[in-house]
Structure 1
Amino acid sequence: MSTASPQHRRAIVIGGSLTGMLAARALSDVTEVIVIERDALPEKPEPRTGLPQAHHTHMLWSGGADAIEALLPGTAKELDAAGAHRVPLTTGMVAYSPKGWYRRWPESHYSIACSRDLLDWVIRGQLLKHAGGRVTVMERTTVLGLTGSATAVTGVTIRRDTGEEDTLLADLVVDASGKGSRTPHWLGELGAPQPETREVDSGLVYASRIYQAPPGLPASWPIINVQPDPRAGVPGQTGVILPIEGGRWLVTLAGTRGGQPTADPEDFQRFALGLRHPIVGELLDKAKPLTSVQVTHMTANRRRFYEKTTMPENLLVLGDAVAAYNPTYGHGMSVAAQSAVTLGETISRHGWNSPGLAARVQKAVARHTSIAWVFATGTDVFYEGATATGPTLAERAAARFVDRLTYTATGSGRVARALTDVMTLQAGPQVLAHPGTLIAAAVGPLKPQLTQPPLTAEERAAVDYT
């Protein structure tokens, strides 16, 4: 049995994905950290069994990228050297919103475009570089449960791949194990209350495939995104082309109940051509498929309200283990990064091992979670069968307001900037209630709606798009 003396500081992080590694970095300033991961982590950017969602597009908005840079200085430079793209927003995005084409306004924020495998690999390397030996990663190890009581958690029980079981004691246990988190079950075993849970499930299915991009593209090729209209009374279908490292496109298609994509390669482009605008399918005709189609069905929005639960001392839950979102808006990684920064800031403010520390952090990170939750569920709740009761009156009112903002943003740089502030998690929703933004929304678009995708002449010529 492994133990830690009361004088020996130790934190245990369950899960070695992006959330867990960033949490470990925040904790490593004040304590030894053990990260426990079921998989064997690859030594280069490669897929791993425990992260099937890595096959699909992942957006790292500037709010998350800035948080990662604060935790791991130099990460942006490492990503750039590895071939990731820094995409200015909305300059580098060709997006068809529910209310029409967005214009490509001058840069206000940015996104990092690359494969999830590359991002996780760079962050693992940066963590080991910055942590100064204070972080140990235990691979091929499964956490079986928590030790302690309903009052306080004291550690975890584990099973190594050899079959050997052990107990590790710790001052803090952080569950960053993702959607499959066992914390609700473990709380029940300790006799502690389980969190209230809400689920909004539109039945969304994701299908993704990697393509070799056409030759001769401009270095600043944009993200292409066709969004669904959740209030059109039909299944919501979407498609995105994300430029990633190696001169490739990662293409993700998605559809809700009654309009879902399949794993059939012959169906992939047909589905893309059938979106609200066919640009994604038309561009795929210029590219070469490199992989089979990868499909994911488990995309329900699920939030566990740990911040409202009487939790045992010394237990904290972060990332998808708290809230898993429909990936359409790409907020999961950015929320995780900002939550890790908040973890470090809360420890600095209140002190390591201070009474109620985990509860303070849990409440603080709920602010980040709530913004992403509103984005994801505010759309999905309008699809048939997503909830038992359908959208609430408050959700309907909020949707009408967002519809007006979205419509105005197609021809108003000011409103587009405000929406981008919130979308990239650089600001909270309160900026949308700024008097200037409200007046602009009341006036409506200042420029006429675009009738064609806003590709530049150089971009059109590169793919012979007419």
Structure 2
Amino acid sequence: MSDRPTSVVSPAGPATGRTVRSAVVLGGSFAGLLAARALVGFADRVTVVERDVLPDGPEPRRNLPQARHVHTLWSGGARAVEELVPGVSELLLDAGAHRLAVTTDMVALAPEGWFRRWDESHHVLLCGRDLLDATIRAQILDDDRIKLVEHAEVLGLEGTDEAVTGVRVRGADGGRRTLHADLVVDATGRASRAPHWLRELGLPEPPRRVVDSGLAYASRMYRAPEPARHGYPVVNVQADPRAGGPGRAGVLVPIEDGCWLVSLSGTRGSEPPTDGAEFTRFAREELRHPVIADLLAGAEALTDVSVTRTTSNRRHYYERMPAWPENFTVIGDALAAYNPIYGHGMSVAAQSAVALRDVIHRQGWGTPGLSRRIQKAVARPVAAAWDLATSQDIFYPGATEQGPTLRDRLLAAYVSRLMRTATGNGRIARRVTDVTSLERGAEVLLAPSVLLAAAIGPLKPPLSGPPLRPEEWKVAEWE
């Protein structure tokens, strides 16, 4: 087992005059590192247990195939990251990341039509996942209270059904040991074995729901045409889940080094291709509009096509369990994982890490019932992202065994009405982006003024095509 010394200044110093407080975070992922950063204000020592060896810089990480695809850090998530790691947004921008305004810098075709490019309401941060992870990782691990243990496999939890006291791990050499902790945080992602670990402690399986559209994701990086290397909008052609048949979507985003990252996706029966020539054909012939293919005509392909098929929405309702052990918390994709086409996973993880910190600050380290309060708090950021994703995916054939529930149908009908209104009403577009940017909860969409606007519908006629400016269209003609 290898330990790599690790140095960002905590907002609060360690406890003094008492037994050393310790926390263990399982997983050196985006979610895990932010959780570790949230805990250094309370624990004297935070140990991050990672099964792989993390790269030193912006390089590919093993067992993270989704890193090759488009990632979005919505402003609600970006603010949470900045709150935990002050200054990191500027570091990302200095390294080439883009800050784009919502919806000013977006060209998006929703099922209900093209969105107008309204004045800025919120923003997104865009860059390659390797750059994002490396920048945040360097800041968080630059703290001598955080210790990274790499090449370590988590075997299970120590403790009882009433309280977790640590975690059992096995190193690369096969040696086993127990890391004792006052708090264990599971951030091991989709592969989390928390339900099994809890069962070993004598607790029941948590309630669980899966909505699987069967979506496959294919991505490729391009050198953008020279006029587009210093600023270009996101271009997003969304699927229409209620049109019948498979859903097909595509998104083009500017990232660092004058590049575009393009991700195409398709549900069961229309998976995107792995071949480069077919990649462009899919963008032209299978999407609801060929704008992405038109833009790629002037771009240079830099990579092969990368494909990922693990994309189901899956949520564990740990907060509903009748009993929950002290000193254990589950966050990130281990708690809820989403279809990546909606881009909410990282933002929810960041907001959950802030919630973790805030609950401990309010309740106090070691307070009875603290872990249950944390688990309920980290579930709140999950709810909005879950409803946004599943309200769409539930309508694809085979997404669930039972099909859409009455609640699903009512929610989807209202969201569709709102989205149609937002194509021609800037005020409602802002309310919608309040929620999609994870800046506000979905309750804002039920305000009387929003309900009335949805009943009236859009105030402007629908756009006939993508709202690209003349100079942006010229990129498609660049040679």
State whether TM-score is above 0.5: yes
Return 434-443 or 174-183, whichever deviates more.
Answer: 434-443
Per-residue Cα deviation, 1:288-316 (whole angstroms, up to 9, x for no partner) = 11111111111111111110112221110
Q: Is structure 2 residue 55 aligned with structure 1 residue 42?
A: yes
Q: Is structure 2 residue 372 aligned with structure 1 residue 359?
A: yes
Kept in 2: contact 1:207–1:293 (CA 8 A): yes
Percentage identity across paired residues of the two chains: 56
> What does residue 193 of structure 1 align with?
204
> What does residue 3 of structure 2 align with?
none
TM superposition shift of 1:462: 3.2
Return closer, same or farther for 1:218/1:41 CA change in 2, 3 Å cut-off.
closer
Identify the match of residue 277 of structure 1 among 260, 284, 289.
289
Identify the match of residue 369 of structure 1 among 382, 389, 392.
382
What is the correspondence of 1:431-446 to structure 2 with a 5 Å cutoff?
431-446=444-459
> What does residue 151 of structure 1 align with?
162
TM superposition shift of 1:84: 0.2
Unmatched 5+ residue regions in structure 1?
Answer: 1-5
Amino acid at match of 1:361: I
TM superposition shift of 1:133: 1.3
SS in 1 for 2:86: coil
Return 380-389 or 261-270, whichever deviates more.
Answer: 261-270
1: distance between equivalents of 2:474 and 2:291?
Answer: 15
> What does residue 239 of structure 1 align with?
250
> What does residue 3 of structure 1 align with?
none
SS in 2 for 1:445: coil
1: distance between equivalents of 2:63 and 2:348?
Answer: 20
1: distance between equivalents of 2:230 and 2:101?
Answer: 13
Unmatched 5+ residue regions in structure 2?
Answer: 1-17
Per-residue Cα deviation, 1:226-246 (whole angstroms, up to 9, x for no partner) = 001110012111000011111
> What does residue 179 of structure 2 align with?
168
Q: How many residues align?
A: 458
Identify the match of residue 9 of structure 1 among 21, 31, 37.
21
Amino acid at match of 1:152: A
TM superposition shift of 1:173: 0.4
> What does residue 214 of structure 2 align with?
203
Per-residue Cα deviation, 1:156-190 (whole angstroms, up to 9, x for no partner) = 11111122211110000000000000111111112
TM superposition shift of 1:8: 2.0
2: distance between equivalents of 1:277 and 1:460?
Answer: 14
Kept in 1: contact 2:42–2:365 (CA 8 A): yes
Amino acid at match of 1:168: L
SS in 2 for 1:253: strand
Could you say what the CA RMSD is over the residues aligned between the two structures, in angstroms? 1.2
> What does residue 33 of structure 2 align with?
21
Amino acid at match of 2:355: T
2: distance between equivalents of 1:415 and 1:114?
Answer: 28
Identify the match of residue 252 of structure 1 among 252, 260, 263.
263
2: distance between equivalents of 1:39 and 1:119?
Answer: 18
> What does residue 132 of structure 2 align with?
119
Per-residue Cα deviation, 1:29-82 (whole angstroms, up to 9, x for no partner) = 110100001111111111111211111111100000000001110011100011
Q: With the length of structure 2 as denominator, give the TM-score of the two structures.
A: 0.94
> What does residue 262 of structure 1 align with?
273
Amino acid at match of 1:71: L
Q: Is structure 2 residue 242 aligned with structure 1 residue 224?
A: no
Identify the match of residue 72 of structure 2 among 56, 59, 81.
59
2: distance between equivalents of 1:445 and 1:218?
Answer: 34
Return 138-147 or 344-353, whichever deviates more.
Answer: 138-147
Q: Which runs of 4+ in 1 moved over 3 A?
A: none
Amino acid at match of 1:18: F
Identify the match of residue 101 of structure 1 among 85, 106, 114.
114
Identify the match of residue 214 of structure 1 among 225, 239, 242.
225
Return 78-87 or 47-56, whichever deviates more.
Answer: 47-56
Q: Is structure 2 residue 437 aligned with structure 1 residue 424?
A: yes
1: distance between equivalents of 2:48 and 2:371?
Answer: 18
Kept in 2: contact 1:87–1:220 (CA 8 A): no
2: distance between equivalents of 1:229 and 1:415?
Answer: 21
TM superposition shift of 1:218: 6.3
Per-residue Cα deviation, 1:95-128 (whole angstroms, up to 9, x for no partner) = 0000110000010100001011111111111213
2: distance between equivalents of 1:261 and 1:460?
Answer: 25
Q: Is structure 2 residue 90 aligned with structure 1 residue 70?
A: no
